[in-house]
Amino acid sequence: MKKLKENRTTVIPGEALANGKDARPGTGVYEENNQIYSQFLGTVEYRNNKVRVKPMKGRYFPREGDSVIAVVSQVTYSNWILDINSPYEAVMPIGEAVDEYIDLSEDDISDYYDVGDVVIAKIQKVTKSKDMQVGMKDRRSRKIKGGMIIEVPPTKVPRIIGKKGSMVNMIKDKTNCTIVVGQNGRTWIRGENEGLAAQACKKVARDAQQRGLTDKIEKWLDEQLEEREEGDR
């Protein structure tokens, strides 16, 4: 195996890492024509004849089927470019975002989604080179209006959701808020106690390794709500 990078150096998606018939791909890489490439922004590691890339922490690496909260970063002639809190941007074609017919010679697609708009979308396709397509045909997908958006480490998303939605549903009930948690770490909150719900989600992310965390967060929320009630008297 011929190493094309120094061990433990930072590499970008699509960067060639090794070649040769004896080079074996590990996690975070892909192989084409006896050459191994990085899938992620991260650190390359060589061990014997195996190559892997360890992704940098804190960034979202998309998978097909993920529901994400995205921001429109660019409007082109026939599609939208979305920021999905990832090293990669995603493309949203007209046909995957709008049901009605659009005459591109007359209509301006920014009338539907413009730069800065925030949407809940679904990752539909991810290629090896990390070209991505998203769409809004899923029943949960829509443009977001009002409320607030916070960001948490994507690795903490399963903890915020909890088993069968136990954590997020408890926070929703206690704060009387609508909460949508994107797999990319962005969370949309709208309702009566948005700030408190945001604090609770961030607290879950920070204390994710603790046991019995749902009960602890519930107790903390009860205390916060009780203090607010006493302050209003």
Q: What is the CATH number of domain 148-232?
A: 3.30.1370.10
Which has the higher per-residue pLDDT, 95 or 175?
175
User: What pTM was estimated for this model as a whole?
Assistant: 0.73
Q: Where in the chain is the domain with CATH 2.40.50.140?
A: 67-143
Domain 2-55 has CATH 3.30.360.10: no
- Tell me how far apart the alpha carbons of residues 193 and 85 are, in angstroms, rounded to a whole number: 25
The SS3 call for residue 121 is: strand
CATH of 67-143 given 1.20.140.10, 1.10.520.10, 2.40.50.140, 3.40.50.360: 2.40.50.140
Please determine, for residue 29, whether its predicted confidence score (pLDDT) is greater than 90. no
Which of 113, 99, 168 is CA-nearest to residue 144?
113
First to last CA, the chain: 73
Residue 208 burial (10 A CB sphere; 0-12, 13-18, 19+) = middle
Please determine, for residue 215, whether its predicted confidence score (pLDDT) is greater than 70. yes
Q: Where in the chain is the domain with CATH 2.40.50.100?
A: 2-55
pLDDT of residue 71: 92
- Tell me how far apart the alpha carbons of residues 138 and 198 are, in angstroms, rounded to a whole number: 25
- Which range of 73-77, 85-89, 227-231 scores highest in mean pLDDT? It is 73-77
Please determine, for residue 224, whether its predicted confidence score (pLDDT) is greater than 70. yes
Residue type for position 23: A
